[in-house]
Structures are given as structure tokens and as C-alpha cells.
Amino acid sequence: MLSLLVDKNGVKFENVYLFSKTTDQPKYNYLADILKRVKGIGFFPYVGVVLKPDEVKRNSVCIFDDVITDNQSPIRDFFAMGRHRGLDVFYLAQTYSRIPKQLVRDNANMIILFKMDEMNLRHAYTDHVAADMSYDDFREMCNLCWREPHGFILIDKENTKESGGYRKGFDSYIRP
């Protein structure tokens, strides 16, 4: 996620809103330090509070981290209405299957999967991949991506499998 926010070719935004119980993490302190140096970019950390999408400035990034046990209704609103306000939303979770399917998993356009257990991998496969390949092929593709430290597979739901729908990291396209 940090790569997408700090890279010149990454996500374009004017503000970052962080909703988390643990906003004082090294990665968020690093992000805040970088954003402080950029004129016109705001960084707004919130602990225990989730704003409504219409309370967030347009053209912003909203990060939901460590919120899996919180009330999901306000978060779902970002996935239902956020695009209309020019919001890019990140939902970070350790357990894929615990992420609410309706509106959150179903409305995501990019899914990034780090190494995970079989149950969570099957959920991701069923939700996003089953029409494109067999489960065994998908698992093999994931294992290829996970061989490197911090490796991940990216599923881009806005592209077909032939045109970048699956990637090893951000830049290496994989054709199933």
C-alpha cells in the first residue's frame, strides 16, 4: 500500500484519511513524514472514529486498518459511495474471509493477497477467480508470487486475465 501512495506513478490523491486503532505504527509515521513535505496534501489519522464518505474531502485515499472487529456499516458506505466522491479505499486485514463480502469484497477493484491459509485462499478464489481458472492453477500462481519475501498476487478486477488481470507484485503480468 505504501508503494502505491508514495510512488510517482502510484495513486493520485490530495488527502489521506487513516481509520485504525493503531495509527502510531512505523509505516504510518513514515507516511505522515513523507506527506508533510508535500504542499497541499493532508494526512488525517482517526482512532475509533469513522467519518461518513461525504465528510471526507474529494480525491482522497481512505485507509481502513485493523477494523475487522468494528461496526462495518460505516465502512461499507465508502465502498458503496466512495467512487462517486473520487475516493480510493484500502481495506487492510489479516484474514480475507473475515472481510465483509457484501459491498467490501464485492466492490473492490483490486485485491492484493499475501501468503494465506487454504481456507482464505479458497474464499478469494470463489469470490474473484473461479471463472478464469481452476483452483489448483490459482494456488500454483499464488505460490509463485509468494516465493519472494513480501511477495503478493494482485487481482485486478477491471482487467481480463488476458490483459493484466493477474499480477505478481504490481508490475509483472501473469497469464493463467
SS3 31: helix
User: Residue 27 is inside which H or E element, if any?
Assistant: helix 26-36
User: In this predicted model, what pLDDT tens digit does every residue of 134-148 receive, in sequence order?
Assistant: 999 999 999 999 999
User: In this predicted model, what pLDDT tens digit does every residue of 156-176 receive, in sequence order?
Assistant: 999 999 988 999 998 899 987
* pLDDT the model gives residue 75: 95
**What mean pLDDT, rounded, does the chain reach?**
93
The strands making up 88-92's β-sheet, listed across from edge to edge, are: 42-46, 15-20, 60-65, 88-92
The strands making up 110-113's β-sheet, listed across from edge to edge, are: 110-113, 153-156, 166-168, 172-173
Contact 69, 25 (CB under 8 A): no
Does the pTM surpass 0.95? The reply is no
pLDDT band at 50 (very low <50, low <70, confident <90, very high): very high
User: In this predicted model, what pLDDT tens digit does every residue of 82-139 receive, in sequence order?
Assistant: 988 999 999 999 999 999 998 899 999 999 999 999 999 999 999 999 999 999 999 9
Helix pair 118-128, 135-146: axis angle to 10 deg = 120
* pLDDT the model gives residue 20: 94
